[in-house]
Structures are given as structure tokens and as C-alpha cells.
Structure 1
Amino acid sequence: MAIGAMIHTFTVQLADVDRGVYEELVLRVARHPSETDAYMVTRVLAYLLEYEEGVSFSEGISQTDEPAVLVRDLTGALTAWIEVGAPDAARLHYGSKLAGRVEIYTHRDPVKVLAPLAGKRIHRAESIVLHSFDPGFIDTAVSALERRNTMTLSVTERQLYLELNGASSSSAVHDHPIA
């Protein structure tokens, strides 16, 4: 029998001073059995850091023609393709042709994520940015993860201040152009 997705609930206070976004959110996040906790936490952070009207999680791993997070305008047109982890060049090329903006958020070593992309054909590669966090930041969040989570995320000058279920950590958001 196949194991189903595990649902995690995040009650979030988001204060993104850099973008002027202040929201109280309740997110129900399905974690596929093949998805790691680190990937899921990075996916939640990507959602929050890209939060705007029309942002949503995709259908997930089972939906291979969509990114982890996407943004659609009021007409339903795809405006942002947000990947998580270490997407391959073909996937970025495809996403860049469909959406006006492509971003990548990773919980992995950015050097190892960028290496396979070097020299590959990627549409508008010069406009795609890989975002990473300080070493240990995602691991700290994962260690505090529960099924029901209370989270506060403050962003000031690209510095994240995260409190997850009482555990506090901080990290800069590091930007790495892929081209």
C-alpha cells in the first residue's frame, strides 16, 4: 500500500519589510513521502519570500510540469515559476519560457546546484537567480518542525529572522546568478 502525503499546518506571521508585505497566514502543506523535511521547509520559505496575490503551491512532485511554487495573475496566466532544491537546466529553460520570472530557492550547497547548470541552454538564464541560506539555517528549522507549526518570519535587508515553534534562527538570503 502506498503511503500518502503528510499534512503540516503552519500558522505564520509574515513581516517582509523589504517588500512591504505584512500578513497572517495559515498554510496547509502536504509533504510527499519522497520529499525531505529540508525540502519542505525551503518550499514554505520560498512561498513566504515570494508571497503576493496569486501565489500558490503546485500539486507537488506528482505534477512534473509545474514548479514547487507558482504565481498566477488574475487571468490565470503564469507570472512566476519558483523552483526549490536543484532543478535541472531543461526544467529552468521550460519554466523561463512559460513565466515572466524564474527564481530558485535551495537548501543545498549553492556551488553544487550551480555546477550542472554551467554552459547549459537556459532561456533568459541571465535573469534567473538562485537563493540560498546560511549553513545550518534550514537544519535548525527542520529540528523544530512539527505537524502543527507556529512561525514568525521577519525579513529586513535580505536578512531572515525565523521563529518556528519557539526555536529562533537567522540567515541572510544569498543571491547567486546562474549565468
Structure 2
Amino acid sequence: MAIKPTIYKLRIAISDLNREFYDSVQLTVALHPSENLERMMARIVAYCLNVQENISFTKGLSQVDEPDIWVKTLDDQISLWIDMGEPAPDRVKKSSRLAPEVKVYSFNSKSDTWWEQSKVKVQPFTHVKFYQFDWQQIKNLATYAQRNMDWSLSISGDTVYLATETGDCELLIKELV
């Protein structure tokens, strides 16, 4: 019998000063059995950074042909493809053909090495943007994970400020160029 995902529920008040977006969202997020808390928390932050109409989590790790997060148009076209981690250049190429806008959020301890090895191969894809979360900050954020969470999240410049019931933290977002 397969191991089932762990379900997390979040209520997030988002204040995105960069996009002048102010709203609250309720999310139900599945932690895949092979996924760690750090990756799940990075996915949630990436979702909040890009929240808009028709954004949704996909089957992600369970479906290799899908991104972690996408935005689909009413006619079922992918308008935004979001991958987490360090995708292979072939995956970046494929996603750039499937969506007019692609974002990759790298977040773990091997991000710098991955970027140095991959940047020459992926830079020709001009509508793909690469971002990096600081690994220590993501690890800190993961310590606040609970099955039911209330967050207040503010985005200003390249910084995400997050207040939870159990503590506060700050995440820096570095654009990789």
C-alpha cells in the first residue's frame, strides 16, 4: 500500500507591495511522501509570490510532465509554469516551449553549484526567470510548519516577511542572472 501525502491547511493574508496585490488565500497543500518540509514551504512561498487568478498547485512530484505550480487560461493553455528546485536544462527548454512565462525557484544547499553548472545552458531561454531562496532561511521557515497555519505575508522588493502564530521570519529572493 502506498504512503499517502500529509495534508496542510493554510490561511494566508498577502500584502504584495511590488504588485499592489492585497488579498487572503486559503490553501490545502499536500506534502508528498518523498518531499521534505523545506521544499513544501518553498512551494507555498513561490505560490504567494505569483498568486493570481487561476493559479494552482499541480500533482508535482507525482506527475513529472507538470510543473509544481501553474496558471492556466480559460482555454486550458499554460500561461505560467513554476518549477521548484534545480531542473535539468532539458526540462527548462521543454517548459519554455509550453508556457510563455516560466519561473524556477531554487532553494536548497546545492543551488549555487547547480546555477554555475547550468546557467550557460539555460540563459538562451529569455522568458525563463531564475530565483534563489536562501537555504538557511527556508530551513528556518520549515520549523514553523504545522498542519493548520495562519500566515501574514508581506512582499517588498526582494524580501518576504512572514509572521506565523509561532514566530516570524524573513526570506530574501535573489534573482539569478
State the TM-score, normalized to the length of structure 1: 0.91
Distance (Å, rounded) in 1 between the aligned partners of 2:146 and 2:66: 27
Q: Give the distance between the partners of 1:19 and 1:113, measured in 2 at CA.
A: 29
Whether 2:58 is the aligned partner of 1:72: answer no
Check 1:135–1:3 CA distance in 2 against 1; reply closer, same or farther (3 A cut). Answer: closer
Q: Establish whether residue 114 from structure 1 lines up as the match of residue 115 from structure 2.
A: yes
Matched letter for residue 31 of structure 2: R
Aligned to 1:138: 138
- Superposed CA offset, 1:33-56 (max 9, x none): 000111100111111101111111
Q: After TM superposition, give the deviation of residue 12 of structure 1 in Å.
A: 0.6
Question: Aligned residues: percent identity?
Answer: 28
Tell me, what secondary structure is at the counterpart of 1:136?
helix
Q: Distance in 2 between matches of 1:164 and 1:40?
A: 16
Give 1:142-153 correspondences, 5 Å limit.
142-153=142-153
- Residue by residue over 1:59-111, the C-alpha shift from the partner in whole angstroms, topping out at 9 and shown as x without a partner, is 12111111000011222211011000111111111100000011011212431
Structure 2 runs not aligned, ≥5 long: none
Partner-residue secondary structure (3-state), 1:152: strand
- Distance in 2 separating the partners of 1:138 and 1:123: 26
Cα separation, partners in 2 of 1:123 and 1:72, compared to 1, 3 Å? farther
Residues 145 and 164 in structure 1, CA contact (< 8 A), matched pair in contact too? no
Give the CA deviation at 1:130.
1.7
Per-residue Cα deviation, 1:118-177 (whole angstroms, up to 9, x for no partner): 443x58523322212234211111011111111111011221101133310112211002
1:55/1:71 contact within 8 Å kept: yes
The farther-off stretch of 110-119 and 26-35 is 110-119
* Aligned position for 1:102: 102
| Residue range with higher mean Cα deviation, 153-162 or 109-118 | 109-118
SS at match of 1:125: coil
Residue identity opposite 1:42 in structure 2: A
What aligned pairs does 1:10-25 form with structure 2 within 5 A after superposition? Answer: 10-25=10-25
Specify every segment of 5 or more residues in structure 1 that has no aligned partner in the other structure, as ranges.
none
Give the CA RMSD over aligned residues. Answer: 1.6
Paired residues in the alignment total 176
Q: 1:81 corresponds to which residue?
A: 81
Bigger shift: residues 38-47 or 151-160 = 151-160
**TM alignment of 1:44-83, pairs within 5 A:** 44-83=44-83
C-alpha contact (below 8 Å) 2:131/2:175 kept by paired residues = yes
- Residue 7 of structure 2 aligns with an amino acid whose one-letter code is I
Q: 1:157 to 1:123 in 2, by over 3 A?
A: closer
Q: State whether residues 96 and 123 of structure 1, in contact with CA within 8 Å, keep that contact through their aligned partners in structure 2.
A: no
CA contact (8 A) 1:17 1:154 kept: yes
Q: Helix, strand or coil for the counterpart of 2:42? A: helix
Q: Which amino acid aligns with 2:21?
A: V
